[in-house]
Structure 1
């Protein structure tokens, strides 16, 4: 029966389901190119998961040609490799909306606190596609850009209102309850029908290292998911094994003079290789249900004062549709390049 949904995935053969015996194959699925062997040691046969008539036609990058100063939030989404867009009126997966926001979700005015880079200095490259998104509590610019800050502190937005539950207290450090220069990207997404999770990459830099470690004005980067998945902290997905938010106090802070990864990734960024620091590329994963609509807000804010700016790089968003259970976790990433 072409109008029967035998596999219960919400699509019938008449609606384009090309395999009504497999709920992971339908027009609302994402194409999966499997190159790794399964538990039995075999690489599964290629399949047309999205029923478009082509096998393993994984979508190409979509962020080539974007300019540094581009302030279209849809292009901010593209810069982190969210290339598919959908609408409330269709059943496709992808970005339903994108906005640049302040910490409380209100609209953010145009400013150089946002930048789309092909790399951050000579030693840090985009992790997927041609661009990455940079958010800064000062200016998301390199020293040779005309509107660069050229100092440790350049306020863009002034006092702000933090998301509920933030700034997150670090049990070992003095608390603070107000923020400044908060900036973020909010994307509302519909997950592919065959997705079980998603992941993204990020990297954090700050002028607060090493003088201001564990103070009440340590900047924080959060990745807030709504609905909040199990294992998140007030919806925040990105934190270390001790539950500490992304800041100068995170366990992964290992790019600096004398740190495990050295200071080469600070060269040419405006952050000093001799006295500032940051993290390596980190990967956050979180679960999702197939077809679920979620909101993700990537937000950076200065805690306690408006001095000693920080920058967060975000890139490499990817849906996970290869089966298995996905849990909220942040781990060191492997450079795909």
Structure 2
């Protein structure tokens, strides 16, 4: 008769197989790789026949918890399916979630001298970041992307949320020295720093439905100076959600609210498995992160000193003395399936014209092992 042994212990470093007597709790441990039954002195079943013993080396290749990994392929805990080499380290839980031999607390990956755009967002694990690219539809492509340890004055309210730096996407050059002097009197970002040499329309177009950055389709608006960061990701096996933090700044606010100059930031999620393609960052009213949005601080609360988004109003008839503002720090969270591959595109553009500009700061991308409430909140 052939039977599998009822006693199995798989530990991180030791695998053992035991024969258990049905009549007592005596356990006989087997030598690794030997078949005692063949030697004539092994255990027998109730009928006197030998029991076929499963060797330890065979059990070493068994995926007991069904997570796609066995001890032979790096699984260090066959009692917990959320612990395996395709998991991420959950900060503070005291466990080696990814089976790399250590309890690794989260650390920023943007503290080296030359962080790239995903580094600034704190996405640097190649197991989960499959690829990335930056896209630009403007005459001065490249100068609207960057990573900084602080945007503006060192003492303002825009310190990184995690690590040493963050990533910026802007419809104006991040370096004020690159702005068009005609639209940057006195070296200030206001009243605008359009990407053009001779006119607006070399970087602006009334976009067709298929090329509008909006997932919901074109509304016929003039779209200018689009900058995008495209991230192709694979969710860890122990993740059921993700989140990221951001601040949206614009010189359009407040003097051009409800005037059609509705510069916009999208976080576009594309999930091939479900066919979903949608913007996941919006206010309680369902509005995208735009100038006409409930998250803007009025009057400004966040200190924006040195960013250029704290400048004087450009409209002489406007009664306020300071124009430009931001949302303050926000957090968007969304659900995802463990192991799912998906694309997340951060996109920003000027709307209505390319003159008055906007910027988004992105930081602190995090995976979540627990269910999240989809949406955007103030933090």
Q: Could you state the TM-score of these two structures normalised by the residue count of structure 1?
A: 0.78
**Post-superposition shift, 1:6?**
1.7
Counterpart-to-counterpart distance in 2, 1:13 and 1:97:
29
* 2:91/2:106 contact within 8 Å kept: no
The match for 1:265 is 303
Counterpart-to-counterpart distance in 2, 1:66 and 1:190:
27
* 1:136/1:309 contact within 8 Å kept: yes
* 2:214/2:266 contact within 8 Å kept: no
Cα distance, 1:271–1:187 mapped onto 2, change above 3 Å: same
C-alpha distance after superposition, 1:72-115 (max 9, x if no partner): xxx10001111211xxxxxxx32110100147xxx997421112
**Aligned-partner SS, 1:10:** coil
C-alpha distance after superposition, 1:226-267 (max 9, x if no partner): 11899x8x511100011000011211111x5x34x2xx5221
From 149, 160, 175, give the equivalent of 1:126: 160
Cα distance, 1:250–1:61 mapped onto 2, change above 3 Å: same
Q: Does 1:217 align with 2:261?
A: yes
Q: Could you state the TM-score of these two structures normalised by the residue count of structure 2?
A: 0.70
Alignment of 1:36-55 (within 5 A): 46-55=94-103
Counterpart-to-counterpart distance in 1, 2:294 and 2:82:
38
Alignment of 1:321-332 (within 5 A): 321=369, 323=370, 325-332=371-378
The match for 1:112 is 143
Cα distance, 1:287–1:12 mapped onto 2, change above 3 Å: same
**Aligned-partner SS, 2:344:** strand
From 146, 163, 171, give the equivalent of 2:213: 163
The match for 2:88 is 30
**Post-superposition shift, 1:164?**
5.1
From 342, 356, 359, give the equivalent of 1:311: 359
From 62, 68, 85, give the equivalent of 1:4: 62
* 1:121/1:265 contact within 8 Å kept: no
**Post-superposition shift, 1:2?**
1.7
C-alpha distance after superposition, 1:292-330 (max 9, x if no partner): 111110000111221211111111111112x2x223210
**Aligned-partner SS, 1:307:** coil
The match for 1:41 is none
More helix by share: 2
Larger Rg: 2
**Aligned-partner SS, 1:265:** coil
Counterpart-to-counterpart distance in 2, 1:249 and 1:63:
33
Counterpart-to-counterpart distance in 2, 1:54 and 1:94:
19
The match for 1:84 is 125
C-alpha distance after superposition, 1:181-214 (max 9, x if no partner): 0001001111111011111011111111111101
**Aligned-partner SS, 2:244:** strand
Q: Does 1:196 align with 2:254?
A: no
Q: Does 1:298 align with 2:326?
A: no
* 1:176/1:304 contact within 8 Å kept: no
**Post-superposition shift, 1:159?**
2.4
Counterpart-to-counterpart distance in 1, 2:145 and 2:77:
44
The match for 2:368 is 320
**Post-superposition shift, 1:59?**
4.3
The match for 2:270 is 226
**Post-superposition shift, 1:167?**
6.6
Cα distance, 1:108–1:188 mapped onto 2, change above 3 Å: farther
Counterpart-to-counterpart distance in 2, 1:109 and 1:84:
31
Higher relative contact order (CA 8 A, sep 6+): 1
